[in-house]
């Protein structure tokens, strides 16, 4: 007799015990699925860390475009891990801390090394590596502050998000390479690279509110699909140019909107002050 026939015979003899066995099997399967969903965000965070380390290695090897690609891919993983954790309801303090460590490497150390290497900041001597360090330190401070408080305004980050700042550095490298391929022979002054990196670092630790994409409702499949298709079409046209323009627009959007609101006396809606600290989700 097959195993299925034996189970049917046992179910006829003892229906109560058979029901208990089926219930236990369902619980085991549900537990396995739950563990799989809990592991997925951590795998994405590990991918974030991997691509950040990859970017550092490529920057040391003198391959700035590959380093920029690593930073962009790390940002993709970082954008997915928090959303997957929230959708699967598997957020945890461990995930928050792990994500912050990975972000420090991918969006602090990696872009600083890319800027230092590709921008020839070593020619500036001590000011060159100090400016690169300033970016890295500001990214770490930005992430630490985000874990304590996500911001004061609804739908806004407090300061420029570290992934956005890192992607601005990466997309700038791609844009410069694109111009060189088009025959534009020029060299970016080292002081301009150092000043830009330092400015991005200071924007991360500033109190200037930046728009957050977390308000996008991914449960609306058609609307999300349309946005994804439009975004992919724009990026596929010429990634080096499109991503650079997106980075520049987003970088200036925070200060411009902040100044405009102060002039027009249109303050943002403030979030209620939490009475007790709670674990925050990934940036």
Which tokens belong to 178? 């694109």
Crossing angle (nearest 10°) for helices 93-104 and 64-87: 170
What are 247-266's pLDDT values in tens digits? 999 999 999 999 999 998 88
6-to-11, 12, 16, 116, 273 alpha-carbon distances in Å: 8, 10, 16, 70, 62
**29-264 belongs to which CATH class?**
mainly alpha
Ordered alpha helix ranges (H), 149-275: 162-181, 190-204, 221-237, 239-264
Decide: residue 75, CB within 10 A, 0-12 exposed, 13-18 middle, 19+ buried: buried
DSSP reduced 3-state for 210: strand
Higher pLDDT, residue 165 or 33 = 165
Q: Say what the pTM is.
A: 0.79
pLDDT category at 177 given cuts 50, 70, 90 is very high
Determine the average pLDDT of the residues in 23-48. Answer: 67
DSSP reduced 3-state for 273: coil
Ordered alpha helix ranges (H), the chain: 3-13, 15-60, 64-87, 93-104, 110-118, 126-148, 162-181, 190-204, 221-237, 239-264
pLDDT category at 275 given cuts 50, 70, 90 is low
* Phi and psi, residue 171, nearest 5°: -70, -30
The answer to whether 155 and 216 have CB atoms below 8 angstroms apart is no
């Amino acid at each position: 007799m097959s195993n299925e026939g034996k189970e049917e015979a046992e179910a006829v003899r003892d229906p109560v015990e058979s029901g208990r066995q089926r219930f236990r099997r369902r619980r085991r399967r549900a537990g396995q699925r739950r563990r799989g969903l809990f592991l997925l965000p951590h795998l994405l965070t590990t991918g974030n860390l991997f691509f950040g380390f990859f970017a550092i290695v490529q920057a040391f090897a003198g391959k700035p475009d590959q380093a920029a690609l690593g930073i962009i891919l790390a940002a993709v993983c970082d954008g997915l891990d928090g959303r997957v954790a929230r959708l699967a309801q598997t957020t945890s303090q461990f995930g928050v801390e792990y994500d912050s460590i990975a972000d420090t490497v991918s969006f602090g150390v990696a872009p600083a090394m890319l800027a230092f290497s590709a921008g020839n900041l070593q020619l500036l001597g001590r000011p060159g590596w100090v400016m690169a360090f300033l970016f890295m330190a500001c990214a770490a401070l930005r992430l630490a502050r985000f874990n304590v408080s996500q911001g004061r305004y609804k739908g806004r980050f407090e300061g420029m998000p570290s992934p956005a700042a890192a992607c601005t550095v990466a997309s700038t490298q791609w844009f410069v390479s694109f111009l060189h391929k088009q025959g534009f022979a020029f060299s970016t002054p080292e002081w301009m690279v150092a000043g830009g990196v330092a400015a991005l670092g200071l924007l991360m630790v500033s109190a200037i509110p930046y728009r957050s994409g977390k308000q996008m409702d991914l449960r609306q499949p058609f609307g999300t699909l349309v946005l994804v298709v439009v975004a992919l079409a724009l990026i596929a046209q010429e990634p080096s140019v499109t991503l650079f323009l997106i980075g520049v627009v987003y970088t200036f959007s925070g200060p411009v909107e902040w100044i405009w609101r102060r002039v027009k006396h249109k303050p943002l809606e403030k979030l209620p002050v939490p009475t007790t600290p709670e674990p925050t989700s990934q940036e």
